[in-house]
Amino acid sequence: MAKYIIKRILWAIPVLLGVLIIVFTITYLTPGDPVQTILGNGYTPEKYAKKAAELGLDKGYLAQLGSYIWNVVTRFDFGKSYMTNIPVITELTTRMGTTFSIAFLSIIVTILIGIPCGIIAAIKQYSALDYGFTSFALICSAIPSFVIAPVLLVVFGVKLRWLPLSGLDEWKSYILPVFVNALGGIALLTRMTRTSMLETIRQDYIRTARAKGLRESVIIWKHAMKNTMIPVITVTGSWLAMLMGGALIVELIFSIPGLGTYLYGGISNRDYPIINGSVILTAFIVCMMSIVVDILYAVVDPRIKAQFSSGKKKKKSVQAAKEAA
Amino acid sequence: MFRTKKQKEELANDLVALSKKNTRTADILSRLVRNKLGMLGMIIIAILLILVIFAPVFTDYPYDAQSFPDRFINPCWEHPLGTDNFGRDLWSRMLYGGRISLLVSLVAIIISSAVGITVGAIAGFFGGRIDNVITRILDILMAIPALLMAIAVSSALGTGPMKTALAIAISGIPYSARVMRSTVLTIKDNEYIEAAQATGSTNARTIFKHVLPNTIAPLIVSATLDIGGNIMAISGLSFIGLGVQAPTPEWGSILSAGREFLRDFPPIVIFPALFIGLTLFGFNILGDALRDALDPRLKD
């Protein structure tokens, strides 16, 4: 197990390096001259050359890429914002918590609602509840967050005045963004859990459990649950990645000072250090989450654990066989 | 729905009879036709496509004709969905905007599938070191959330329908390559592939004649589901000002432009939202039905 976890963590290093290279290359290839943007109109060639040298933009692609990677890896230095001259990492660290806490709360809400709904829909297949949950899930998965968010904002913020319109000053301000984020996830998880549970409860070992006369609740929650969870964990992991990616839209609508709004500002001002920094940090968080998901996966599914311990055990069993012979 | 059970059985049987040559396709088609939800999806998509393709037939107004006195008219006989803040007819903006949304989504699917199929087929078929390298690169690309990737690429490429299509396509490539790779891996072990190679078929011939035709089914499913996802991504990009921009109508950009009027004039947001939602819904349930039809194990 430890070997599996270490292997998984080590693999994240080349992936993140690759992400660094790709993101840097994309912004490098972007047309437009950052020096010109910073200096505005009316600069002398000397001034231009000085600024370009200061930002390291006068060097070639490889040299720029090399120093970028070096700064990020050794000092977490993503450069300074072209516009404000504030180091990108300072902003990133203060904003990361906000984005992550919303994503985390959304995932918790998603799991707490989505999984039970899916299980109920599966064990009461073709009942009114099943149809209710399934159609709710189908409809919700067709509503993008940028559609539902403004509508909820008008209803609960403007008309009813129950919830604040923007910012994150009190606990109430978390309700709408978390709900908007969770909605699609709930839809996804309900459907996934339902399908997975339906597949599981048709298997022979469930029939055996029933034949033994176990209570239905024990069968579902103890026997079927573990196998049901395997695909559900995968989907939850990929949903978290989507949430981190989609944070921009939700944060923009609710004016939340998170990674998304920071990235948005970077895009509108063509502030490349900001774009690079936020995308790379998000990819880093997604990578970490996928490691956690993979470890959870191995905890829930002994077959995966066995795959990684099999090397040693196989050798042992071969040795034992030889000794016996 | 509108057919009796008997009529449906007949239709299914006809389909079977029609394509006796290829019984698997017929089997899939008949299962698809029996799926009520899937047929509903197909009908929704068909209606949308007809409305969008033959837009000039269904509306008398050009999508960009501004008329100041006619601003914010509620839905009425003259303007079925009302008018926007420039007095433009929302119904015709929906129809012409749908052209852009659907076309961009389709182009994106074609590009990402073409690249994804090639890369995935190479990785899956040859295996070994090539597969290893390709899988690692896909891992890297997938570490960046798809929407962020599209945002980064389209901020580099600039705005406009085809650039948006390219941005979305690039963000979709790793996913379609993954689907293709795993499909090819399951096909590769079949005996007919071994037979083809034993009889001296070249790699290219084996891939094109024997492997690719058998991967079409899962690819169609993933493409159908992706069209919905792409429409959401395009609208999302337009919404944050990176996708398609005014005056070109696109559902996401119409929605985004109308957001500030939501409080006083809801139709300007509700209708584009409805069109996006219906399209997504249609493609989602059709994709689900296709998957069920292709994988009978999941059905009772």
Predicted structure pTM score? 0.82
Residue B45 has pLDDT above 90, yes or no: yes
Q: Is residue B22 part of a domain?
A: no
- A26 contacts B156? CB cut-off 8 A: yes
Tell me if B3 is assigned to some domain. no
Note whether A16 contacts B: Cβ–Cβ < 8 A. Answer: yes
- Tell me the pLDDT of chain A averaged across its residues: 85
pLDDT band of residue B16 (cuts 50, 70, 90) is: low
Whole-number pLDDT of residue B23: 67
- On the question of pLDDT at B189 being above 80, the answer is yes
More confident residue, A154 or A121: A121
* Domain A88-324 CATH superfamily: MetI-like (1.10.3720.10)
- Cα dihedral value B282, B285, B289, B295, nearest 10: 130
pLDDT score, position A19: 92
Lowest mean pLDDT among A95-104, B11-20, B29-38: B11-20
Asked whether residue B152 is domain-assigned, the answer is: yes
Among the partner-chain residues B240, B241, B263, the one whose CB lies closest to the CB of A158 is B263
Residues of chain B contacting A141 with CB distance shorter than 8 Å: 280, 284
E strands in A198-304: none
Angle subtended at Cα B106 by Cα B105 and Cα B110, rounded to the nearest 5 degrees: 120
Q: What is the CATH number of the domain that holds B146?
A: 1.10.3720.10
Full domain range(s) for residue B243: 35-62+82-298
Cβ of residue B143 closer than 8 Å to a chain A Cβ: yes
Q: Is residue B19 part of a domain?
A: no
DSSP letter at A212 equals T
Indicate the domain borders of chain A. Answer: 2-75, 88-324
Looking at chain B from residue 199 to 218, which residues have their Cβ under 8 Å from any Cβ of chain A? none
Domains identified in chain B, total number: 1
User: What is the pLDDT, as a whole number, of residue A222?
Assistant: 86
Judge whether residue B125 has pLDDT over 60: yes
Q: Tell me if A142 and B280 make a contact (CB, 8 A cut-off).
A: yes
pLDDT bucket at B300, cuts 50 / 70 / 90: very low
B299 pLDDT higher than 50:
no
Digit-coded pLDDT (tens) for A216-227: 888 888 888 888
Predicted local distance difference test score (pLDDT) of residue A144 = 85
Q: Is residue B94 part of a domain?
A: yes
In this predicted structure, which of A240-254, B126-140, B182-196, B283-297 has the lowest mean pLDDT? B283-297
Residue B226 lies inside a defined structural domain of this protein: yes
Q: For A56-95, how does the pLDDT look when each residue is reduced to its tens digit (9 = 90+)?
A: 778 888 988 998 899 888 888 888 888 888 899 998 998 9
What was the pLDDT predicted at A111?
92
Pull the structure tokens for residue B263: 């409080």
Q: Measured between alpha carbons, how far is residue A35 from residues A51, A89, A271 in Å?
A: 7, 21, 11
Q: What is the Cα–Cα distance from A47 to A172, expressed in whole angstroms?
A: 50
One-character DSSP codes across B215-282: HHHHHHHHHHHHHHHHHHHHHHHHHTTSSS-TTS--HHHHHHHHGGGTTT-THHHHHHHHHHHHHHHH
Judge whether B70 lies within some domain: no
What is the nearest CA distance from B281 to chain A, expressed in angstroms? 5
Q: Is the pLDDT of residue B88 over 80?
A: yes
Residue B68 within any structural domain of the chain: no
State which of A26-30, A290-294, B194-198, B263-267 shows the largest mean pLDDT.
Answer: B194-198
- pLDDT of amino acid B3: 58
Exposure of B271 in the CB half-sphere (CA atoms within 13 A):
24
Give yes or no for a contact between B242 and A113, defined as CB atoms under 8 angstroms apart: no
Distance CA A52, CA A47 (A): 9
What ipTM was predicted for this assembly?
0.81
List the 300-319 stretch of A: residues with Cβ below 8 A of B: none
Give the confidence band of B15 by pLDDT, cuts at 50, 70, 90.
low
Candidate from B141, B242, B263 with C-beta closest to A154: B263
| Averaged pLDDT of chain B | 84
Q: How far is A318 from chain B (nearest CA, A)?
A: 27
The more confident residue out of B23 and A10 is A10
